[in-house]
Amino acid sequence: MTTNPFEDPDGQYLVLVNDEGQHSLWPSFVDVPAGWTVVFGADGPQSRDACLAYVEEHWTDLRPRSLRERMAAATAEPGS
């Protein structure tokens, strides 16, 4: 049975982030898609567990950046 490369516990991964601040574990053998940047593993792919730990530490607010900014602006407006 073939293992899903996004869930392979023995695979090597990168952590990507997009302009909205969303993170993704990415198999190291797959090209990084447009709009995403490597933020962990650029010096060499990491284990799935190491990448998950990075994501858990650095992506603490799962809302997209644009939503967080709109919500902050709405609460800063007078009368809100």
pLDDT of res. 43: 95
pLDDT of res. 69: 87
User: What phi-psi label fits residue 40: left (phi over 0), alpha (psi between -120 and 50 degrees) or beta?
Assistant: beta
CATH number at residue 25: 3.90.820.10
pLDDT digit string, tens, across residues 14-39: 999 999 999 999 999 999 999 999 99
* CA proximity to 37, closest of 13, 59, 16: 16
% of the chain surpassing 90 pLDDT: 68
Asked if residue 3 belongs to a domain, the reply is: no
Which range of residues forms the domain containing residue 54? 12-76
Asked if residue 6 belongs to a domain, the reply is: no
- CA-CA distance, 22 to 62, in Å (whole number)? 7
Q: pLDDT class for 79, splitting at 50, 70, 90?
A: low
1, amino acid identity: M
